[in-house]
Amino acid sequence: MAAEIVNPRSDSDNSTESAADEPFDPAFALHRGGKMAVQATVPVRDKDDLSLAYTPGVAKVCSAIAERPELVHDYTWKSQVVAVVTDGTAVLGLGDIGPEASLPVMEGKAILFKQFGGVDAVPIALATTDTDEIVDTVVRLAPSFGGVNLEDISAPRCFEIERKLQERLDIPVFHDDQHGTAVVTLAALRNAAKLTGRGLGDLRAVISGAGAAGVAIAKFLLEAGLGDVAVADRKGLVSRDREDLTPVKRELAELTNRAGLSGSLESALAGADVFIGVSGGTVPEPAIASMAPGAFVFAMANPNPEVHPDVAHKYAAVVATGRSDYPNQINNVLAFPGIFAGALQVRASRITEGMKIAAANALADVVGDRLAADYVIPSPFDERVAPAVTAAVAAAARAEGVARR
């Protein structure tokens, strides 16, 4: 694992005081001065070091890259650094709070990249919510980075932004709110099915939430072989007979709900094998009680799950949440550091469905023989996780022909 994270500026006495500091709050104390800094990897102790790190020595490297652009991966940090990009429109449970207010979250994401995957990351909060402006800005910044992690951008713009960026760039573009959540969900679901002697194809799932995470999870689980899945938004189940669907939800309706269900989330849960919550709100206990015997409840809203674990355990064989104080935490940090580490390791041009499935399988396999109802997914602090995911993603990239080394 990476070295302990410290804040060299935490004792600074020249910061602006604010009312937030009274009474003492450890969150503000930790964040004072920011949570990260740039650190040199080479010494600059004398004029000889200076002449190599900067002029005139640096000119030799620049000239070599100008003649052979691929050398930028060998002689700069490009091949090991990710841009963490947001517009601040869908930040955690806070919603549209703007770029400045989103920056602490982006810094946090960056240190998670480093701590759990050994990947350097730079937070970039953009002062625009225009889809094309975001795409154009990131494309112009891309020469400095080996990958782009989109973060906390509201749906449905997030889908278009990711698609357009990947069309224009030859480095991985990954919206973690979508794909990281989907990868960890699949890993937990695979192990839950294994624990109860079933396969993914035997399961019918219902997802609460048709935003970025819900849409991505539904598509990804079907790609991995799930039997069927229905997705509910605020107005009920996404189905072909609805006339109020956005283009994204219209596409979702064509792919999901093979059983042709309509109506409410609660009605769809009757006889369902899996509930996946990524929307917040509360699902009534009778709806959970109506699920099939041996059901799985993945209630991932934070801080308040859609179904309280105490209620879910009355009826479900496996219960997972997004919280760290309950077993089976569905946490994106299990996925994105290793996924990017593997992609960067082989200089992948993109992150494919096969690479994501490989990541999910590797993550599920970490649990191994310790598989149990309260252990279908490993802890983020399990040191086996990132190496396993990294190796699986790198191998999948080579197999799918998107690796360049």
Domains by residue range for the chain, with CATH: 77-171 (3.40.50.10380), 178-405 (3.40.50.720)
Closest CA to 317 of 186, 226, 195: 195
Peptide bond into 156 cis (omega under 30): yes
Continuous segment of H or E residues that includes residue 27: helix 26-31
CB atoms under 10 Å from CB of 63, counted, come to 10
pLDDT of 12? 45
| Cβ-contact 219, 239 below 8 angstroms | no
Structure tokens that stand for 185 in this block: 């969900």
Structure tokens that stand for 197 in this block: 């002697």
**CA 59/CA 248 separation, integer angstroms:** 49
**CA 244/CA 187 separation, integer angstroms:** 33
Note the pTM of the prediction, 2 decimals.
0.91
- Quick: pLDDT tens for 221-230: 999 999 999 9
pLDDT of 93? 78
Is pLDDT of 3 > 90? no
| Cβ-contact 390, 117 below 8 angstroms | yes
- Quick: pLDDT tens for 38-88: 899 999 999 999 999 999 999 999 999 999 999 999 999 999 999 999 999
Let me know how long the chain is. 405
Rg (CA), the chain: 22
Residues designated as active site:
54, 109
- Quick: pLDDT tens for 205-219: 999 999 999 999 999
